[in-house]
Amino acid sequence: MNDEKKEFSALKVLAGIIMVIFLLGGLTLIFTPDDLFARVFNRFASILNTQQWMLSSPMSTIVFKTAGAFLLMWSFMLFKLAQNPVKNAVIATASGVGFLILSAVTVSHFFSQEVTSVIPTYIIAMRVLITAIVGLLFLIWTPKQ
């Protein structure tokens, strides 16, 4: 039993870190006032010397609240994974595949003129790299039964 704890400690740490990030992000997305998102994104755009592009609208509110609920759901699943990695190995596999899909979708931003005019390509590249690495770590550290 002690060997099993040592074997999956890296997966537990990774799941715990991502769980806390998703928990804080989900709660922030759900409980933050709507116009604050537009102000933060436009401030970030002004720091990067790009055009300000976000307006607060009911549609953006719906998207942010839904994304917050999705992050809370994923946070709970990662909590269960950190408790018992062997029993919940499918969560690690699904998280790894989910991060790799997110990375692949982000690659398509390189070919979108609208996105590259607003977000610098090095930020897109860093997002692709980070999500791909996290996805591969989940897949590598998944318990094999």
One-letter amino acid of 51: Q
Instruction: Give the pLDDT of residue 114.
Output: 79
Residue-range domain boundaries for the chain: 1-80, 88-140
Report the alpha-carbon distance of residue 54 to residue 32 in Å, rounded. Answer: 16
Count other Cβ atoms within 10 Å, centred on residue 8.
Answer: 21
Count other Cβ atoms within 10 Å, centred on residue 106.
Answer: 19
- Model confidence at 1: pLDDT above 90: no
In this predicted model, what pLDDT tens digit does every residue of 119-143 receive, in sequence order? 788 988 999 999 999 999 999 999 8
In this predicted model, what pLDDT tens digit does every residue of 76-88 receive, in sequence order? 999 999 999 989 9
Instruction: Give the pLDDT of residue 12.
Output: 92
Report the alpha-carbon distance of residue 77 to residue 60 in Å, rounded. Answer: 26
| 47-57 per-residue burial string, b: 16 or more CB within 10 A, e: under 16 | eeeeeeeeebe
In this predicted model, what pLDDT tens digit does every residue of 11-58 receive, in sequence order? 999 999 999 999 999 999 899 887 887 787 778 777 777 766 667 777
Question: Number of helices (H) and strands (E), helices first, in the chain?
Answer: 7, 0
